[in-house]
Amino acid sequence: MSRAMFDYTKAVLSKVSFDVRLFSKELKKAITRLLPHEIDELMIWVDSLIKQHPQLSQCLTLLNP
């Protein structure tokens, strides 16, 4: 079940990547809902997404405690 949540989270983040505010909001939700190892995997995925959408780079602070 958890893997489905991870895949859903990636799909949502991809869809809102055009808006930094929405992306930040969804990323915060993801951090509270995912397991620690999934958050690590999400960090890698978000880093690759930021290479495609540089405006999202300010959201990296949400991933670093």
Residue-range domain boundaries for the chain: 2-63
pLDDT score for 3: 86
Q: Give 53: exposed, middle or buried? Use CB within 10 Å, 0-12, 13-18, 19+.
A: middle
Confidence of residue 62 (pLDDT cuts 50, 70, 90): confident
pLDDT score for 59: 82
Q: What is the pTM of this model?
A: 0.85
The predicted model gives 8-12 an average pLDDT of 96
pLDDT score for 24: 92
* Other CB atoms within 10 A of residue 43 CB: 13
